[in-house]
Amino acid sequence: MNGALASEITSFSHQLERINEKNRRYRDFTLRGLTDALTAIIVELSIYRTYITDPDTVSERDVRFVLDAVRAARRLHPRIPRTLISFLRDTMLLRNLHEFREEDRQAVIDVVMRLQQITGPVMAKSVEDTAFYRYHRLVSINEVGGHPEQFGLPLNAFHHQNAERRRIWPHAMLSSSTHDTKRSEDVRARLNVLSEIPAVWEAAVTRWAYAHEALKVEGDGERWPDRATEYLLYQTIVGAWPLELDQMALTSLLTGLPSPLHEEETGVKGDALTSFRERIVAYMQKATREAKLYTSWLNPDEAYDTALSDFVAAVLDAHGPCIADMATFARRIGFFGQLNSLAQTMLKLTAPGVPDVYQGTELWDLSLVDPDNRRPVDYALRQRYLATIDGRAAEDRSALLTELLAQHHDGRIKLYLMSTVLRFRRQHPALFAEGDYRALEATGTHRQHVVAFVRGLGAQQIIVVVPRLMVGLMSAARGQETADERFAQCADAEHMPLGVAVWGDTQLLLPNELAGARFRNLLTGERISADGAQIALATVFAAVPMALFVQESEFRK
């Protein structure tokens, strides 16, 4: 507010001062006083904006957030007169509208509405475009509309939010990647794996930081880049590490031997590592300028910018001290990240709301913030994949799924999931627009590793089931005590969370009206019957680690 948006704040204060000059109660408030008090309140407003257009539209929510901001402003800025802060409180909530002349009241309302257009950009620039680039505990939760201090939700809270969305905003958009997200849905799904393996992640970061210390330079009495920026870099590298740069491809770079990956198989042109390095250099330049700690867009520090670019380039050099280690780590969390992404995609496509698919995310998309997420999308490749999937599904769906899971790195499994569920939505629009939402619970050893719910409209009922926290799930299934232990020992093995060996005695509990019902798995075509009011998760996840069950008798095939 003292920099890029200073003119907006000043203009608003001038407008409010002109109105106050016509009011004997408020005409003594100075322009400087109004600006200081207004700034203090906006700083403490913890939402983007209120939605007040006249005295009848002041909601309890808006009142609560404005009063919280006012109380914080009074406490943290004791030199600002309380009468001035109280005036702004009453004006923002239109409580004092009657104290203005009738011919001035619309001007007061206009001022309040303009203020609501100012607080949004202030919040966006200060939180999304500053704080999110400074605070790096787990950057997958540094997302537009997110709260980095909130490390996750209990499962019952997730279900409660879905039920509320179905009741209040059934047609609101469900987005996991947009033009404005800081990281794509697949990057975030991969980075979320780190929350399950903190010890392994800490050890990896410690190795890399120690090995790369010699690459830093002295600047203003510090070692550049600083530790926080270096930590952001490591999360960015493992989160966005390209699938085409798997261990075999990297080995060919280091040894000069032919790569087993060919351009026609990956869609990658040229030197993939060089391309990735350039992307990360550009991203880190943007991130540090947005953070505004050592450099910025308005006041760039060329020495720091150069030191950072050189550091990133050296870390991602084909012969860098940790390049193979980082590649291996990224590939290992990438497998679990893909499972996370599939579960996330299924939930987005079936939960209350209208799912949105951002360009390119039909396959795995490991893009970062703009302009990285505006790169050209190979739609021809996606069209070829979809045509092949449709043809194979008509011939032998079971064989197709076996192939898609075995070759999960190419992303066709995500495209198959997306196309299958979206076509079902198109055939049954009322079910998803108006259908109810009921959470399902599980029993047994791995009950905490499943998310399930029922969507229903009249006689039509579907059940959605996906796994969660899969590193921990696979650890328990293979006898390791912790997810860290499982991850450390998994080496190159990639085992899908399928069958009784993984799910054991875990059962999904059904509502009474679905006891004994017969279902068809939309993804596999398989038919199963409920064992009374429950279904074994080993049966649910026998072939694919996600399920959408359709009550057979109530739907056309």
Judge whether 275 lies within some domain. yes
Domain presence at residue 173: no
Residue 90 has pLDDT above 80, yes or no: yes
CB atoms within 10 A of CB 283: 21
Boundary of a domain, candidates 334, 361, 391: 334
| Spatial separation of the C-alpha atoms in residues 142 and 181, rounded to whole Å | 9
Instruction: Average the pLDDT over 530-544 and give the result.
Output: 93
Q: Does 365 reside within a domain?
A: no
Task: Note whether 86 and 218 are same-domain residues.
Answer: no
- Residue 339 resides in a domain: no
Residues 122 and 198 in one domain: no
pLDDT in tens, 180-207: 999 999 999 999 999 999 999 999 999 9
Reduce the DSSP state of residue 334 to 3 states and report it. Answer: helix
pLDDT digits (tens, 9 = 90+) for 363-377: 999 999 999 999 999
Give the mean pLDDT of 439-464: 95
Domain boundary among 314, 334, 354: 334
- CATH number, residue 538: 2.60.40.1180
Picking from 111, 128, 145, the residue at the C-terminal end of a domain is: 128
Q: What local confidence, expressed as pLDDT, does residue 493 receive? A: 59
* Count of domains observed in the chain: 3
Judged against a pLDDT cut of 60, whether residue 258 lies above it is answered with no
Residues 450, 529, single domain; the answer is yes
Residue carrying the six token digits 């507010």: 1
- The pLDDT assigned to 364 comes to 96
Query: How far is the C-alpha of 467 from the C-alpha of 533, rounded, in Å?
Result: 20
Amino acid at 339: L
Q: Are residues 557 and 435 in the same domain?
A: yes
> Which pLDDT score is estimated for 27?
87
120 and 197 fall within a common domain: no
**Higher pLDDT residue, 359 or 3?**
359
pLDDT-above-70 percentage for the chain: 92
pLDDT > 90 in the chain, percent:
78
pLDDT attached to residue 557: 44
267 located within any domain:
yes
Residues 323 and 196 in one domain: yes
Q: Is residue 15 domain-shared with residue 122, that is, in the same domain?
A: yes
d(Cα 346, Cα 340) in Å, to the nearest integer? 10
Calculate the average pLDDT of the chain: 90
Is residue 71 in some structural domain? yes
Same domain, yes or no: 26 and 120: yes
CB–CB of 405/416 below 8 Å? no
Is 97 a member of any domain?
yes
Same domain, 329 and 199: yes
Do 80 and 205 lie in one domain? The reply is no
Would you say residue 150 has pLDDT above 90? no
Q: What is the mean pLDDT of residues 210-229?
A: 94
Q: How confident is the model at residue 24 (pLDDT cuts 50, 70, 90)?
A: confident
3-state secondary structure of 527: strand
Answer whether residue 259 shows pLDDT above 50.
Answer: no
Does 214 lie in the same domain as 86? no
Q: Which domain holds residue 444?
A: 428-557
Burial of 150 (0-12, 13-18, 19+ CB in 10 A): exposed
Residues 216 and 325 in one domain: yes
pLDDT band at 149 (very low <50, low <70, confident <90, very high): confident
Q: What Å distances lie between residue 402 and 25, 184, 198, 462, CA to CA?
A: 77, 27, 32, 24
> pLDDT tens digits for 29-48?
899 999 999 999 999 999 99
Position 418 in a domain: no
User: For the segment 48-66, what is each residue's pLDDT rounded down to a tens digit?
Assistant: 999 999 999 999 999 999 9
- Tens of pLDDT, residue by residue over 265-298, are 433 344 889 999 999 999 999 999 999 999 999 9
The mean pLDDT value for 248-275 works out to 56
In angstroms, the Cα distances linking 521 to 136, 263, 357, 419, 463 are: 40, 36, 23, 15, 9
The Cα 91–Cα 50 span in angstroms is 13
